[in-house]
Chain A
Amino acid sequence: MSLQASAHAEPRDDFGAKLGMWLFLVTEMILFGGLFIGYSYMRSKYPAEFHHAGSELNATIGILNTLVLLTSSLTVVLAIVSLQRGEKGKTVAFLGATLFLAALFLVDKGIEWTGEIGRGLYPNAPHLATLPPGEQVFFGLYYTMTGLHGLHVLAGMGVLGWALTRVMRGRISRDHAVVLENAGLYWHLVDVIWIFLLPLFYLAA
Protein backbone atom coordinates (compact mmCIF):
# COMPACT_ATOMS: atom_id res chain seq x y z
CA MET A 1 0.00 0.00 0.00
CA SER A 2 2.76 2.40 0.98
CA LEU A 3 4.68 1.43 -2.17
CA GLN A 4 1.62 2.16 -4.29
CA ALA A 5 1.13 5.50 -2.58
CA SER A 6 4.74 6.51 -3.16
CA ALA A 7 4.54 5.29 -6.75
CA HIS A 8 1.56 7.58 -7.31
CA ALA A 9 3.26 10.48 -5.61
CA GLU A 10 6.37 10.25 -7.76
CA PRO A 11 6.03 8.38 -11.06
CA ARG A 12 9.48 7.37 -12.31
CA ASP A 13 10.92 5.61 -15.29
CA ASP A 14 14.67 5.45 -14.83
CA PHE A 15 15.25 3.41 -17.98
CA GLY A 16 13.18 5.86 -20.02
CA ALA A 17 15.18 8.76 -18.55
CA LYS A 18 18.44 7.09 -19.50
CA LEU A 19 17.25 6.15 -22.99
CA GLY A 20 16.09 9.74 -23.51
CA MET A 21 19.53 11.00 -22.46
CA TRP A 22 21.24 8.63 -24.90
CA LEU A 23 18.97 9.83 -27.71
CA PHE A 24 19.96 13.41 -26.89
CA LEU A 25 23.64 12.40 -26.89
CA VAL A 26 23.14 10.86 -30.33
CA THR A 27 22.06 14.29 -31.65
CA GLU A 28 25.24 15.74 -30.11
CA MET A 29 27.35 13.07 -31.83
CA ILE A 30 25.76 13.91 -35.17
CA LEU A 31 26.28 17.65 -34.54
CA PHE A 32 30.00 17.28 -33.88
CA GLY A 33 30.25 14.45 -36.44
CA GLY A 34 29.15 16.89 -39.15
CA LEU A 35 31.92 19.28 -38.09
CA PHE A 36 34.44 16.40 -38.10
CA ILE A 37 33.41 15.57 -41.67
CA GLY A 38 33.82 19.23 -42.64
CA TYR A 39 37.28 19.26 -41.03
CA SER A 40 38.36 16.06 -42.82
CA TYR A 41 37.27 17.41 -46.20
CA MET A 42 39.06 20.73 -45.70
CA ARG A 43 42.17 18.97 -44.37
CA SER A 44 42.33 16.79 -47.48
CA LYS A 45 41.95 19.94 -49.59
CA TYR A 46 44.59 22.02 -47.76
CA PRO A 47 47.03 19.53 -46.12
CA ALA A 48 50.10 21.83 -46.11
CA GLU A 49 48.16 24.86 -44.81
CA PHE A 50 46.55 22.77 -42.03
CA HIS A 51 49.98 21.47 -41.06
CA HIS A 52 51.43 24.96 -40.84
CA ALA A 53 48.42 26.43 -39.02
CA GLY A 54 48.36 23.50 -36.57
CA SER A 55 51.98 24.22 -35.61
CA GLU A 56 50.84 27.69 -34.45
CA LEU A 57 48.74 26.10 -31.69
CA ASN A 58 50.03 25.35 -28.20
CA ALA A 59 50.12 21.52 -28.15
CA THR A 60 51.28 21.46 -24.52
CA ILE A 61 48.08 23.17 -23.35
CA GLY A 62 46.05 20.86 -25.63
CA ILE A 63 47.63 17.74 -24.07
CA LEU A 64 47.34 19.16 -20.54
CA ASN A 65 43.65 19.88 -21.14
CA THR A 66 43.16 16.30 -22.37
CA LEU A 67 44.55 14.99 -19.07
CA VAL A 68 42.33 17.44 -17.15
CA LEU A 69 39.17 16.28 -18.96
CA LEU A 70 40.07 12.57 -18.71
CA THR A 71 40.55 13.00 -14.96
CA SER A 72 37.26 14.91 -14.66
CA SER A 73 35.53 11.99 -16.42
CA LEU A 74 37.04 9.68 -13.81
CA THR A 75 35.86 11.84 -10.90
CA VAL A 76 32.30 11.89 -12.32
CA VAL A 77 32.17 8.13 -12.64
CA LEU A 78 33.64 7.75 -9.13
CA ALA A 79 30.94 10.14 -7.85
CA ILE A 80 28.32 7.76 -9.29
CA VAL A 81 30.00 4.70 -7.70
CA SER A 82 30.12 6.43 -4.31
CA LEU A 83 26.47 7.48 -4.68
CA GLN A 84 25.48 3.88 -5.41
CA ARG A 85 27.34 2.86 -2.24
CA GLY A 86 25.58 5.53 -0.20
CA GLU A 87 28.83 7.44 0.48
CA LYS A 88 27.40 10.93 0.19
CA GLY A 89 30.52 12.76 1.42
CA LYS A 90 32.65 11.15 -1.31
CA THR A 91 30.00 11.93 -3.95
CA VAL A 92 30.10 15.62 -3.01
CA ALA A 93 33.92 15.61 -3.01
CA PHE A 94 34.17 13.88 -6.42
CA LEU A 95 31.62 16.24 -7.97
CA GLY A 96 33.45 19.23 -6.48
CA ALA A 97 36.70 17.93 -8.01
CA THR A 98 34.95 17.55 -11.39
CA LEU A 99 33.73 21.15 -11.30
CA PHE A 100 37.23 22.35 -10.35
CA LEU A 101 38.79 20.41 -13.27
CA ALA A 102 36.13 21.75 -15.66
CA ALA A 103 36.95 25.31 -14.56
CA LEU A 104 40.68 24.54 -14.96
CA PHE A 105 40.01 23.36 -18.53
CA LEU A 106 38.27 26.65 -19.35
CA VAL A 107 41.08 28.70 -17.75
CA ASP A 108 43.64 26.79 -19.89
CA LYS A 109 41.50 27.36 -22.96
CA GLY A 110 41.22 31.05 -22.10
CA ILE A 111 45.02 31.35 -21.80
CA GLU A 112 45.43 29.55 -25.12
CA TRP A 113 42.85 31.66 -26.97
CA THR A 114 44.27 34.88 -25.49
CA GLY A 115 47.69 33.97 -26.90
CA GLU A 116 46.30 33.16 -30.34
CA ILE A 117 44.06 36.24 -30.48
CA GLY A 118 47.07 38.34 -29.39
CA ARG A 119 48.97 37.07 -32.45
CA GLY A 120 46.10 38.12 -34.72
CA LEU A 121 44.86 34.56 -35.26
CA TYR A 122 41.11 34.94 -34.92
CA PRO A 123 38.29 34.94 -37.48
CA ASN A 124 38.12 38.12 -39.54
CA ALA A 125 41.42 39.43 -38.09
CA PRO A 126 43.46 41.65 -40.46
CA HIS A 127 46.55 39.43 -39.97
CA LEU A 128 44.59 36.21 -40.63
CA ALA A 129 43.21 37.73 -43.85
CA THR A 130 46.78 37.92 -45.21
CA LEU A 131 47.34 34.16 -44.68
CA PRO A 132 46.52 31.51 -47.31
CA PRO A 133 42.82 30.45 -47.52
CA GLY A 134 43.61 26.99 -46.07
CA GLU A 135 44.97 28.53 -42.86
CA GLN A 136 41.94 30.81 -42.57
CA VAL A 137 39.69 27.74 -42.88
CA PHE A 138 41.77 25.95 -40.23
CA PHE A 139 41.35 28.74 -37.69
CA GLY A 140 37.65 29.10 -38.57
CA LEU A 141 37.14 25.40 -37.81
CA TYR A 142 39.39 25.60 -34.74
CA TYR A 143 37.39 28.42 -33.13
CA THR A 144 34.03 26.93 -34.15
CA MET A 145 34.75 23.43 -32.85
CA THR A 146 36.69 24.29 -29.69
CA GLY A 147 34.25 27.15 -29.00
CA LEU A 148 31.21 24.88 -29.36
CA HIS A 149 32.99 22.34 -27.18
CA GLY A 150 33.73 25.08 -24.62
CA LEU A 151 30.00 25.95 -24.52
CA HIS A 152 29.32 22.27 -23.81
CA VAL A 153 31.84 22.38 -20.96
CA LEU A 154 29.98 25.40 -19.53
CA ALA A 155 26.62 23.60 -19.89
CA GLY A 156 28.12 20.49 -18.27
CA MET A 157 29.36 22.58 -15.34
CA GLY A 158 25.85 23.99 -14.91
CA VAL A 159 24.26 20.52 -14.95
CA LEU A 160 26.88 19.00 -12.62
CA GLY A 161 26.69 22.00 -10.26
CA TRP A 162 22.90 21.61 -10.11
CA ALA A 163 23.32 17.85 -9.50
CA LEU A 164 25.81 18.62 -6.71
CA THR A 165 23.30 20.83 -4.88
CA ARG A 166 20.66 18.09 -5.22
CA VAL A 167 23.07 15.49 -3.81
CA MET A 168 23.80 17.80 -0.86
CA ARG A 169 20.07 18.27 -0.22
CA GLY A 170 19.47 14.52 -0.48
CA ARG A 171 17.31 14.86 -3.60
CA ILE A 172 19.79 12.66 -5.51
CA SER A 173 20.63 9.52 -3.58
CA ARG A 174 21.38 5.82 -4.03
CA ASP A 175 17.76 5.16 -5.00
CA HIS A 176 17.39 8.34 -7.06
CA ALA A 177 20.66 8.16 -8.97
CA VAL A 178 19.48 8.49 -12.58
CA VAL A 179 19.77 12.31 -12.65
CA LEU A 180 23.44 12.15 -11.69
CA GLU A 181 24.02 9.22 -14.06
CA ASN A 182 22.56 11.26 -16.93
CA ALA A 183 24.59 14.34 -15.98
CA GLY A 184 27.64 12.05 -15.99
CA LEU A 185 26.75 10.71 -19.45
CA TYR A 186 26.68 14.27 -20.79
CA TRP A 187 30.05 15.04 -19.21
CA HIS A 188 31.64 11.91 -20.66
CA LEU A 189 30.45 12.87 -24.14
CA VAL A 190 32.09 16.29 -23.69
CA ASP A 191 35.26 14.34 -22.85
CA VAL A 192 34.92 12.06 -25.90
CA ILE A 193 34.56 15.08 -28.21
CA TRP A 194 37.78 16.55 -26.81
CA ILE A 195 39.52 13.18 -27.27
CA PHE A 196 38.93 13.70 -31.01
CA LEU A 197 39.69 17.44 -31.03
CA LEU A 198 43.21 16.92 -29.56
CA PRO A 199 44.66 14.95 -32.51
CA LEU A 200 42.59 16.86 -35.11
CA PHE A 201 43.99 20.27 -34.21
CA TYR A 202 47.13 19.77 -32.12
CA LEU A 203 48.75 16.53 -33.27
CA ALA A 204 47.70 15.36 -36.74
CA ALA A 205 47.23 18.74 -38.42
Chain B
Amino acid sequence: MTEQTKSMVEHPEESPGYGTFVAVWAALVVLTGLLVFVSHFGQKAAVWGLLTITPLKAGLVFYFFMHLKYEGPLVKGVVFVALGTLLIFFALTYADVAFR
Protein backbone atom coordinates (compact mmCIF):
# COMPACT_ATOMS: atom_id res chain seq x y z
CA MET B 1 0.00 0.00 0.00
CA THR B 2 2.78 2.35 0.98
CA GLU B 3 4.63 1.57 -2.24
CA GLN B 4 1.45 2.19 -4.22
CA THR B 5 0.89 5.58 -2.60
CA LYS B 6 4.52 6.54 -3.23
CA SER B 7 4.19 5.45 -6.83
CA MET B 8 1.04 7.53 -7.31
CA VAL B 9 2.78 10.61 -5.91
CA GLU B 10 5.78 10.15 -8.19
CA HIS B 11 3.81 9.23 -11.31
CA PRO B 12 0.92 11.68 -11.17
CA GLU B 13 0.31 11.47 -14.91
CA GLU B 14 0.08 8.29 -16.94
CA SER B 15 3.02 8.50 -19.31
CA PRO B 16 2.48 7.59 -22.98
CA GLY B 17 3.16 4.07 -24.22
CA TYR B 18 5.65 2.64 -26.68
CA GLY B 19 3.42 3.39 -29.69
CA THR B 20 3.46 7.18 -29.25
CA PHE B 21 7.26 7.29 -29.26
CA VAL B 22 7.61 4.90 -32.21
CA ALA B 23 5.22 7.19 -34.15
CA VAL B 24 7.34 10.25 -33.24
CA TRP B 25 10.49 8.38 -34.36
CA ALA B 26 8.80 7.50 -37.68
CA ALA B 27 7.88 11.17 -38.15
CA LEU B 28 11.52 12.14 -37.46
CA VAL B 29 12.79 9.64 -40.05
CA VAL B 30 10.27 10.92 -42.64
CA LEU B 31 11.27 14.54 -41.93
CA THR B 32 14.96 13.58 -42.33
CA GLY B 33 14.12 12.04 -45.70
CA LEU B 34 12.23 15.19 -46.67
CA LEU B 35 15.18 17.37 -45.62
CA VAL B 36 17.58 15.31 -47.74
CA PHE B 37 15.12 15.39 -50.69
CA VAL B 38 14.63 19.17 -50.46
CA SER B 39 18.39 19.78 -50.33
CA HIS B 40 18.71 18.25 -53.82
CA PHE B 41 16.96 21.33 -55.25
CA GLY B 42 19.90 23.65 -54.70
CA GLN B 43 21.37 25.68 -51.87
CA LYS B 44 18.37 27.95 -51.39
CA ALA B 45 16.00 25.01 -50.93
CA ALA B 46 18.49 23.34 -48.58
CA VAL B 47 18.70 26.48 -46.43
CA TRP B 48 14.90 26.71 -46.29
CA GLY B 49 14.83 23.06 -45.27
CA LEU B 50 17.38 23.84 -42.57
CA LEU B 51 15.31 26.75 -41.26
CA THR B 52 11.95 24.93 -41.26
CA ILE B 53 12.29 21.12 -41.09
CA THR B 54 15.26 21.05 -38.69
CA PRO B 55 13.60 23.14 -35.92
CA LEU B 56 10.47 21.00 -36.38
CA LYS B 57 12.54 17.83 -35.83
CA ALA B 58 14.24 19.35 -32.79
CA GLY B 59 10.82 20.43 -31.49
CA LEU B 60 9.49 16.86 -31.76
CA VAL B 61 12.48 15.55 -29.78
CA PHE B 62 12.06 18.26 -27.11
CA TYR B 63 8.29 17.94 -26.86
CA PHE B 64 7.88 14.15 -26.88
CA PHE B 65 11.20 12.37 -26.31
CA MET B 66 12.34 14.86 -23.67
CA HIS B 67 8.85 14.87 -22.14
CA LEU B 68 8.54 18.66 -22.31
CA LYS B 69 4.86 18.13 -23.12
CA TYR B 70 4.36 16.62 -19.68
CA GLU B 71 6.44 19.19 -17.73
CA GLY B 72 5.08 22.12 -15.75
CA PRO B 73 5.42 25.82 -16.64
CA LEU B 74 8.77 26.25 -14.82
CA VAL B 75 10.73 23.74 -16.95
CA LYS B 76 8.95 24.90 -20.11
CA GLY B 77 9.81 28.49 -19.17
CA VAL B 78 13.51 27.66 -18.64
CA VAL B 79 13.75 26.13 -22.13
CA PHE B 80 11.73 28.94 -23.72
CA VAL B 81 13.94 31.64 -22.17
CA ALA B 82 17.12 29.84 -23.26
CA LEU B 83 15.95 29.41 -26.86
CA GLY B 84 14.63 33.00 -26.89
CA THR B 85 18.03 34.24 -25.70
CA LEU B 86 19.75 32.31 -28.50
CA LEU B 87 17.37 33.82 -31.05
CA ILE B 88 18.15 37.32 -29.75
CA PHE B 89 21.89 36.56 -30.12
CA PHE B 90 21.27 35.38 -33.71
CA ALA B 91 19.21 38.51 -34.50
CA LEU B 92 21.81 40.87 -33.00
CA THR B 93 24.63 39.16 -34.91
CA TYR B 94 22.74 39.41 -38.19
CA ALA B 95 21.74 43.01 -37.51
CA ASP B 96 25.46 43.75 -37.11
CA VAL B 97 26.52 41.76 -40.20
CA ALA B 98 23.75 43.14 -42.45
CA PHE B 99 24.52 46.83 -41.77
CA ARG B 100 28.30 46.56 -41.79
Binding site for B on A (CB under 8 A): 2-3, 14, 18-19, 22-23, 26, 29-30, 33-34, 37, 40-41, 44, 47, 51, 59, 63, 66-67, 70-71, 73-74, 76-78, 81, 84, 174-175, 177, 181, 184-185, 188-189, 191-192, 195-196, 198-200, 203-204
Which of A29, A74, A77, A185 is the one whose CB lies under 8 Å from B82?
A29
Q: Which 9 A-B pairs have the closest CB atoms?
A: A203-B39, A204-B46, A199-B50, A26-B82, A74-B25, A33-B86, A204-B50, A188-B66, A192-B58
Task: Establish whether residues B97 and A44, one from each chain, have CB atoms under 8 Å apart when the complex forms.
Answer: yes
Bound-complex Cα distance A199 to B50 (A): 6
Q: Point out the residues of chain A lying under 8 angstroms from B93, CB to CB.
A: 37, 40-41
Q: List 29 contacting pairs A-B, 8 Å CB cutoff, sorted by A.
A: A19-B74, A22-B79, A26-B78, A26-B79, A29-B86, A30-B86, A33-B89, A37-B89, A41-B93, A44-B97, A67-B32, A70-B28, A70-B29, A73-B25, A73-B61, A76-B65, A77-B21, A81-B17, A175-B3, A185-B66, A189-B66, A192-B61, A195-B54, A195-B57, A196-B54, A199-B49, A203-B46, A203-B49, A204-B50
Report yes or no: B90 in contact with A37, Cβ–Cβ below 8 A. yes
Which of chain B's residues have a CB closer than 8 A to the CB of A40? 90, 93-94
Q: Which residue of A lies closest to B26 (CB)?
A: A74
Identify which of A30, A76, A199 contacts B35 (C-beta below 8 A).
A199
B42-94 interface (Cβ within 8 A of A): 43, 46-47, 49-50, 54, 57-58, 61-62, 64-67, 71, 74-75, 78-79, 82-83, 85-86, 89-90, 93-94
Chain A residues near B47: list those with CB within 8 A. 204
Residues of B within 8 A of A189 (CB): 66
Contacts of B50 in A (CB 8 A): 199-200, 203-204
The docked-state distance in angstroms from the alpha carbon of A192 to that of B57 is 8
What CA separation (Å) do A198 and B31 show in the bound complex?
13
Q: Looking at the assembled complex, report how far the CB atom of B33 sits from the nearest CB atom of chain A, in whole angstroms.
A: 9
Instruction: Give the residue name and chain of the A residue nearest to B68 (CB).
Output: A22
A199 and B46 CA atoms in complex are apart in Å by 8
